[in-house]
Amino acid sequence: MEELKSKCWLIKNAFQIDVQAVDHQIQTILHISDDSDPLIIIEARKKIYLELKNSLEKAHKKSFCFHTDSFRLSYIAVALHKGEQFQGMVVVGPFLIEKVTDHFIWNVIRENNLENNWVTAFEKFYKSLPYLGQSYIAIGDLLVNLLVNPRVDSQFITTKKHNEQYQPELEPQDYAHDGMEVKLRYEAEKKLLHFIEIGDKENAMKALIDFTGDFSYRVPGNPLRAKKNLGFSSNTMNRMAAAKGGVEPQYLHAISEKFALEIEAAVAMSDLESINFRMIEEYCDAVKNFAVKGYSTVVKKALMYINLYFKEPINVHAIADEIGFNRMYLARKFKEELNIGVIDYLHKKRIEEAIFLIEQGRLSITDIGIHVGFSSYNYFCKVFKELIGMTTTEYKNSH
């Protein structure tokens, strides 16, 4: 029992994931948790234990079982044996293997037939969970090796006194960059930031390939940390480029914070490569969709408000009141500067979001219309056909 407890705490401390050990009758013998799970999640977890047990009893004793439930929560279970006899299992989770978005939470609520008032609670809960992505397979393999074999106590030592600052002694040749390489790389960096500033996603992706280099020497012995440090720097530069392109701080803060958390949570170099490309894509999309550079103050404020709250039941009166301008003045300036009316722009934003949700294929047309802010299904269909030239059903079938 003491060895099992020490192994479970090792798992908890290493991965920041809840760990539960149960016996062959599925009675809890150890539970290490932050106790932040909603009761509905705890009840759903209990229902999968028998299924996990049955799968592990039939499998090779060195197997691990992976399961994702209707709440998109994932678990790994590893069997505990005494000789050939099944004694119980260790269940690690919940964790996430996909990113949490508004659509993710909306689908969870719909699939579990819950009320919409669960949204806030679920947002808070999912944000507290670790994201493992596809690395869960490697972690499952690691858990099998840890739980099947005896635990060995490690010894912690350092090469320097704790109060001495570590300074790697690098010879000039360790940098492996001559003047031309440095010059070319900084030119590629300028191109990359320029393309982000104007929202040119295609050319920004090409420039990223030229910009990428090997900087593992900056953190000797830990290339993953070196790559993460470079990712943080890139995130900052990309954010500043998008700001120059006219994207307001509200949008940029959300994007920047999201990727900063993803970078720190990454467990493989391939994860960081993927994050780099998604960063470029999202910052370019932000410039393309949310830039308000060059507009008058009233139009800037109106665009910002619509882009943030287009899913809410808003109209010209509500927008004008919220941003503190006369309704007639707002309507006139908006039409002058964008060549489109306020309501027409609002409809355009809502239909763009609806198209995205239709192509995802997870929500019904009726749910989509309500989700993007239309007051009725018929009105949603009418506006959709006016802007897209086909009905919602025709569009869905064609994609």
pLDDT tens digits along 85-111: 888 899 988 888 888 887 788 888 888
> What is the tens place of the pLDDT at every residue in 125-143?
888 888 887 778 888 888 8
pLDDT per residue over 29-77, tens digit each?
888 876 667 788 888 888 888 888 888 888 887 888 899 888 889 999 9
Q: Domain 2-148 falls in which CATH fold?
A: Beta-Lactamase (3.30.450)
Helix (H) and strand (E) counts in the chain: 17, 5
Tokens of 344: 């027409």
Q: Does residue 94 have a cis bond before it (omega within 30 degrees)?
A: yes
| DSSP structure class, residue 175 | G
Region 297-398: CATH code:
1.10.10.60
Give kind and range of the element (H or E) at residue 105.
helix 102-111
- State the residue for tokens 């490309």: 277
pLDDT at 281 over 80: yes
In this structure, of 161-175, 236-250, 369-383, the range with the lowest mean pLDDT score is 161-175
pLDDT of residue 367: 92
- Write down the pLDDT at residue 274: 85
pTM above 0.75, yes or no: no
Q: Are 51 and 114 in contact (CB under 8 A)?
A: no
Identify the residue with better confidence: 178 or 343.
343
pLDDT of residue 387: 94
Q: The tokens 């989700």 sit on which residue?
A: 371
Q: In what order do the strands lie in the sheet with 85-95?
A: 28-32, 19-23, 85-95, 74-82, 64-68
Q: Show me where the domains of the chain are located.
A: 2-148, 176-290, 297-398
Query: Residue 158 has what pLDDT?
Result: 60
CB of 24 closer than 8 Å to CB of 87: yes
Does the structure show a pLDDT above 80 at 336?
yes
What's the chain's length in residues? 399
Distance CA 342, CA 323 (A): 14
Instruction: Report which residue type is found at 322.
Output: E
- How far is the CA of 110 from the CAs of 116, 170, 313, 367, in angstroms? 9, 57, 21, 10
- Which tokens belong to 73? 């929560």
**Residue 255 and residue 286: Cα distance in Å, rounded?**
9
Identify the weakest region by mean pLDDT among 179-193, 252-266, 327-341: 179-193
Beta-carbon contacts of 396 under 8 Å, excluding residues fewer than 6 positions away, are: 358, 365
pLDDT at 181 over 80: no
DSSP 204-222: HHHHHHHH----GGGSTT-
pLDDT of residue 342: 94
Question: Are residues 246 and 294 in contact, defined by beta-carbon separation less than 8 angstroms?
Answer: yes
Question: In this predicted structure, what is the pLDDT of residue 348?
Answer: 93
User: What pLDDT score was predicted for residue 170?
Assistant: 45
Fold matches, 2-148 and 297-398:
no
Angle ∠(215,219,223) on CA atoms, nearest 5: 65
Q: Is 284 exposed, middle or buried (CB count within 10 Å of its CB: 0-12, 13-18, 19+)?
A: buried
Q: What is the pLDDT of residue 369?
A: 93
